[in-house]
Amino acid sequence: MRLRVGISTCPNDTFMFHALLAGKIETGALQLAIELLDIQELNEGVLRGRFDCSKASAAMAVSLSDRFEICDAGAALGFGVGPLLVARPNAGPLSAGSCVLCPGERTTAYLLMRRFFPKASTIEHRVFSEIMPALCRGEFDYGVVIHEGRFTYESHGLTCMADLGTLWEETEQIPLPLGVVVVDRALPREVRECFGGLVRRSIEYAMEHREEALSTMQRFAQELDESVIWAHVDLYVNKWSLTLGDEGTRAVQALARVALEEHER
């Protein structure tokens, strides 16, 4: 059976899926056609039915529970992993009239921005890799950075105004779910379970063959510096990537509650 699979180009995804991208593990009766896209493109693809299985923003995934189930493996979830609200030099305090760049209206980053800075009513969305360059050019004062941007914003002369993940942790007392793998509920249960097992095996393979995965990550990464790539992997790939477990499941449920509250506001 052929499955259409979507993952992001960020190092944690290419690390976790390296074994599947490079044919390092057998997939049995499943044939995986893997596409690598920006997270907002993945979100839109999931909504349009472009993928059978895909990485998606946790904020969107929890709203689609009738169509997709969240895979137990492959999540980006943890403490200290959240998006950052950054500003260019001399931007001044954030006000109601300030325009903030976000990486997509269905991303967890945008949900957190709305949650913790509701007065910032003017939001524009850009591909995540375009946000810091736009701030550096002086086109905008504020932006929410994700992925490698968490590690490189200072080198671009930008200042962190708020760690949205820390704000989440302080209010919810639970790790932050950023992205999860979703699987179409229309697929037979044995296929969904088999795919989840492949994702877990791929992560285990990467953990056991770290250096081998580097070339795969560098092929797609926005930032090629090895120290940045490994910092990214070490932060976002953890025990919850292998299995959500009870704590990870509670974190997803907490995000679903917050997403519903923001939708009803």
pLDDT in tens, 181-236: 999 999 999 999 999 999 999 999 999 999 999 999 999 887 668 988 998 899 89
Residue 263 bears catalytic tag: no
- 163: β partners: 84
Question: 206, 167, 176: which is closest to 21 by C-alpha?
Answer: 206
- For the chain, give every domain's residue range: 2-78+176-264, 84-172
Q: Quote the pTM value.
A: 0.90
84-172 has the same fold as 2-78+176-264: yes
Q: Tokens representing 232?
A: 């990214």
The catalytically annotated residue of 18, 125, 147, 232 is 147
- Cα distance between residue 100 and residue 121, in whole Å: 9
Question: 67, 65, 39: which is closest to 52 by C-alpha?
Answer: 67
Q: Name the burial class of residue 227, with classes exposed (0-12), middle (13-18) and buried (19+) by CB atoms within 10 angstroms of its CB.
A: exposed
Into which CATH architecture does domain 2-78+176-264 fall? 3-Layer(aba) Sandwich (3.40)
Of 22-26, 142-146, 244-248, 260-264, give the lowest mean pLDDT range.
Answer: 260-264
84-172: CATH class: alpha beta
Sign of CA dihedral 131, 132, 135, 137: negative
Please report, as a single letter, which amino acid is at residue 195: F
**Neighbouring C-beta atoms of residue 44, cutoff 10 Å:** 17
pLDDT in tens, 148-185: 788 889 999 999 999 999 999 999 999 999 999 999 99
